[in-house]
Structures are given as structure tokens and as C-alpha cells.
Amino acid sequence: MPYRRGRLLPVLLAVLIAAAGPAAADPAATNAAAANPAAASAPAVVVDGPVLGRNFPDPDVVKIGDTYHAYATSTVGRNIQHATSRDLVNWTLAASDPLPALGAWVDNGRRRVWAPDVFDNGDGYTMHYTAHDRASGKQCIGTALASSPDGPFRPVGDAPLICPVGQGGAIDAAGYTENGRRYMLWKSDGNCCGMDAWIHLQPVSGDGTLTSGRAVRLLRQELPWEGGVVEAPTLIRRDGRYILFYSAGSYEGYGYATGYAVADRLTGPYTKTAEPLMSTESFAGAVRGPGGQDLVTGPDGRDRIVFHGWNADRSQRFMYAADLVFADGRPFVRGSAVRYQAEDARLHRAQVREAAGALGGRAVAYIDHDDSSVEFRAFAVSAGVHPLSVRYGNGSLDEGRPAGASHNLSVNGEDAGVVLYPYTGWDTWRYARRPVVLAAGWNTIRLSKGERHAELDCLEAG
């Protein structure tokens, strides 16, 4: 049965451009028109709607010839789900289960099968899958082989391939190959049992049916937004550096998110970024709980990130796809806003101060002179209308009464109107939102002295 993506992005673009006024065909004119306070409430430009609007969690995508094959966690009546596409946008669900039988080690009373990973092994196809081990009661990783990516995949061996019972079991296999050697990434499921959750890297045979070396720990949960869980690893190499994507938090809620860490060596150490790459908030609620990600090259030769997100009533996790671009050694996802701290921006006649309640504990203040400014460098994956959010504090008074304030806005040297700041009181932080037109790539966003006084915590754009 064919499924086609939603038309969310074109609709939202039309709404934003309409809100900005008839001059929106010209970027400078759009930015100027968008300064209209009425436009500030317009919907944000976000990732296009789900490419598969049904329950299809933890998608793994592999390209075989001209066809993309996606595999997902089990659903009613199937151990593994399978869909195909020629463009990563329009998908057709397979009529049959590609993994009709499970390994002899699997507990038949708990037949949920999770997070498949499929690859071409040179002589056929290998699937790694997660299921409950009857002997230990833990989730473990098994292997199956097929002559076709359509299956049927047949289980290999009488025991799971990876099953560290003392670490809580193992889930979320993901493949990586370098210099002809194959590796498996996997997560020890310690959070099931009050232990740390570690993402590991382990050498395996070319067909993935045997381990061929010891597992190395790469990273564990430690950041506040991770909620005590890291899982779903995906590893790539770009410009000589290793980038390890992972999901974190409880997959059952909207707090699930995707982060990444970077290393100069395959085995680390990996350095995480402080904030997630994709979250419900970064998508302004248009995607809820984005995670279970995979990376694939699109038909145009450009990177795509494929992931799941909850539907509105949290009954299904739909599959999404978005453009992924690397710049200055870091990834950016189309539709997912990036936070830029004001204290890291380029300041002119303004000062950084310690600020209670600011996200980084500091804010930029004293933007009080006619030539005061705060200049951000922000990246956009695609050219066009994008949401801009400015976290500010405004304690201005006019004749002893609370008063609004503003900053003048310019984008890439062009006047883009103003950002209006309703009164909040000092050290009380809120967001001012409005659309702006950005160029593809790096943009210079400049906020300068306007009416009265406001302080800046951060800017979110992209």
C-alpha cells in the first residue's frame, strides 16, 4: 500500500509568506514585512510532514540498487515491518514479514522485536534484531540471514549474538564499516536495572554472525536532557572525524530526543554537545519525541536523517525524513532550530553578566547605546522563511510603569525590521518569535539598540 508524505512545509511556507505581506518574494522585503507583530504568531517553518503516516518506529534504512528499504520495530502480526521507496518520500509497505521466524532463544511469550539493522554482507543480507532472551529474561541481539533484502530472513544460531546479562542485556544494533572491517554498535540496557546505559562498539565478522573482538565503551548517559538513558546509536565519519548520533530519554514521551558526540578516533573519546540536535522543542512541536534515527544518502547524493516521532495522541510513531547538512564539523537538520547563546555572540558596546534563570547562567546586558549590538552567526540548511526565537528579559519602565522594548534586526546586512519585547521584569526570561528569511548556509543575524532596554539570553534559528 503506498503512502505519501504530508504537505506541511509548502502550506506553512505559504502561511508565513502571506503573513509577511505581498512583498515576500524578495528576502529583504519579507524580513521587513515580517516585523509586523501580527506575523510573529504565524506557524514556524518545520520539517515536512511524516513520510510514512503509520506506526513505524526505530527505522533503519538501507539502499539496494535504486530502492530504499526501511525496516522497523514490530507491529501486530509482524515481527519486523518493511517498506520500500525510490525517493525516501513515497513509501510502499511490504505485504509480508521479512523476519517470519525468530531465533530459538527468543521468549515466545514476549515476542516484541525491536530496532532492526540490515546490511548487504556481500553474499546476501544480514539483519540484527532485539528480542527477549528466554534464559535470562533480558533483551538481547540476534542475527538472521537472507538472500534478498525483502527476506525472508532466517535466524542464525541457537543463542543471541550479544547478551551481556550482567549489564542489563543489549539492544539497538547498528552497523559501521571502515577499511573493510565491520563493527556493530549496541547499547547495554542497564537502565532496565538501575545501572548505566552504555553505547558500545564491537568488531564482528563480515556477515555479522560472529563477534571478532572485545566491545569498547563509547559513551553513557550523563547530561540532564538525556533522562538517564542513551540508546539507538548511528555512527558516520565526516571530514576525518567520527560523529556518533544517539537517542536519549524515555521513548514513551515527547521528551525523547536525538543528540550527537564527536571524536577524532573511532574508539573515542567522544565529546557530546550540551543540547540535543533534534527535540520536540527544536521542531516547535511539529515533530514530537524525535529519535530512533538513521542516516542515508538521498537520490540527489545529499545526506538525509530518517527518524520517528509520535503522532498527536501518542498512539503511533510515524517516520520522518529531513535534510542533513554538515558545516564547521557539526550537523544541522532542516526544520530543527539551533540555539546560539548570546554570550558567545560578537558584542559591540554591550556586556556579559551573570544572570539568574538564563539558560547558560549568563546573558548580554547594557545594549544601551545607539551603536550597541549583538551579532550572531546562525546556520540554515535551506534558503527561505525560518522561525526566529529570541529569549530576552525586559524590565523597562516608562514613567514608572512597565513598558515594552525592542531591538532592531538585520539579516546578512539587510534591514529586517524589529523584534518586539513585551515587559517581563529583569531576570525573567521569555521568547519573542517572528519569521525571517535566511540564506542557505551561514547567516549573520544582528540585534541592535531599539526602544528602551532589553537583555538577551539566546537566539534560536534554523
pLDDT computed for residue 73 by the predictor: 95
Predicted confidence at residue 48, as pLDDT, reads 64
Looking at CATH, the fold of the domain delimited by 60-336 is given as Tachylectin-2; Chain A (2.115.10)
Domain chopping of the chain, boundaries: 2-44+339-461, 60-336
Per-residue confidence in pLDDT tens, the chain, 462 aa:
444 344 334 333 433 333 333 333 344 444 544 444 333 333 333 356 899 999 999 999 999 999 999 999 998 889 999 999 999 999 999 999 999 999 999 998 887 999 999 999 999 999 999 999 999 999 999 999 999 999 999 999 999 999 999 999 999 999 999 999 999 999 999 999 999 999 999 999 999 999 999 999 999 999 999 999 999 999 999 999 999 999 999 999 999 999 999 999 999 999 999 999 999 999 999 999 999 999 999 999 999 999 999 999 999 999 999 999 999 999 999 999 999 999 999 999 999 999 999 998 999 999 999 999 999 999 999 999 999 999 999 999 999 999 999 999 999 999 999 999 999 999 999 999 999 999 999 999 999 999 999 999 999 998
pLDDT at 76: 80
pLDDT for res 312: 93
* Residue 103, phi then psi, degrees to nearest 5: -60, 155
CATH superfamily of 2-44+339-461: Galactose-binding domain-like (2.60.120.260)
Quote the CA–CA distance of 123 and 205 in Å, as a whole number.
Answer: 13
CA distances from 148 to 74, 87, 96 (A): 20, 20, 13
pLDDT at site 32: 46
Burial degree of 252 (CB within 10 A; 0-12, 13-18, 19+) = exposed
- pTM beyond cutoff 0.85: yes
- Name the grid cell of 371: 551603536
